Amino acid sequence: MKNRYSIRLLVIAFLSAFAMGICYSCSDDDGEGVKVYEYREQIGKKIKVLTDLQAESQFGLREGMYPETSRAILEDAIAKLKDFLQTIKEAGVAEAQIPEETARLLKESDEKIAEFKATVRTEDLLVPAELEVSGKNGGYIDFGAHPEYSTFGEVGKQAFTVEFWVKLKDVEGFFYLISTFTDDDTNNHERKGWCVNSYNYGGNNMRMTYGMGFNDLMEPAFGFATVNEWVHLAVVTDETGVDGEMNGGRPVMTKMYMNGELKLSTTSHQDASKPYASNDSNVPMVAFGGMSATGNRIGDKGANGSMKHLHIWRAAKTQDEIRRLMEHPENVTGEEDDLVCGWTFAKMALDDQEIKDLTGKYTAKLVGDYKWIELE
Average pLDDT in the chain: 90
Q: DSSP characters for 13-30?
A: HHHHHHHHHHHHHHHHHH
Percent of the chain with pLDDT over 70: 91
Helices of type H across the chain = 2-56, 71-89, 98-117, 319-327
Interval 139-154 mean pLDDT: 98
Interval 128-144 mean pLDDT: 97
Interval 104-121 mean pLDDT: 96
Which residues sit opposite 289 in a β-bridge?
none
Q: What is the pLDDT of residue 375?
A: 93
Contact, 302 vs 325, CB < 8 A? Answer: no
User: Which of helix, strand or coil describes residue 3?
Assistant: helix
168-200, pLDDT tens digit by residue?
Answer: 999 989 999 999 999 998 889 999 999 999 998
* Beta strand segments in 149-218, E: 159-168, 174-179, 182-184, 190-192, 194-199, 205-211, 213-214, 217-218
Listed residue (288, 290, 277, 174) closest to 218, CA to CA:
277
d(CA 326, CA 153): 25
pLDDT band at 87 (very low <50, low <70, confident <90, very high): very high
Interval 31-42 mean pLDDT: 75
Would you tell me the crossing angle of helices 71-89 and 98-117 to the nearest 10 degrees?
Answer: 170
Torsion region of 228: left, alpha or beta (phi above 0 gives left; psi -120 to 50 gives alpha): left
Q: Is the pLDDT of residue 348 over 50?
A: yes
Helices of type H across 292-370 = 319-327
pTM: 0.75
pLDDT band at 273 (very low <50, low <70, confident <90, very high): confident
pLDDT band at 291 (very low <50, low <70, confident <90, very high): very high
Contact, 304 vs 311, CB < 8 A? Answer: no
Terminal-residue alpha carbon distance, the chain: 103
Q: How far is CA 225 from CA 70, 97, 167, 201, 338, in A?
A: 44, 72, 11, 12, 32
Contact, 257 vs 176, CB < 8 A? Answer: no
Q: Is the pLDDT of residue 368 over 60?
A: yes
Interval 30-39 mean pLDDT: 66
d(CA 376, CA 368): 25
Per-residue b or e along 281-308, where b marks 16 or more CB atoms closer than 10 Å to that residue's CB: bebbbbbbbbbbbeeebbeebbbbbbbb
Interval 237-256 mean pLDDT: 97
Q: What is the pLDDT of residue 153?
A: 96
User: Which of helix, strand or coil describes residue 229?
Assistant: coil
Q: What is the pLDDT of residue 72?
A: 97
Interval 118-140 mean pLDDT: 94
Which residues sit opposite 310 in a β-bridge?
343
Q: How far is CA 329 from CA 94, 165, 322, 324, 334, in A?
A: 68, 10, 10, 8, 11
Q: DSSP characters for 248-276?
A: TTEEEEEEEEETTEEEEEEE-SS-TTS--
Contact, 204 vs 125, CB < 8 A? Answer: no
Q: Is the pLDDT of residue 15 over 70?
A: no
In the sheet that holds 213-214, the strands lie side by side as: 182-184, 190-192, 213-214
Q: Is the pLDDT of residue 1 over 80?
A: no
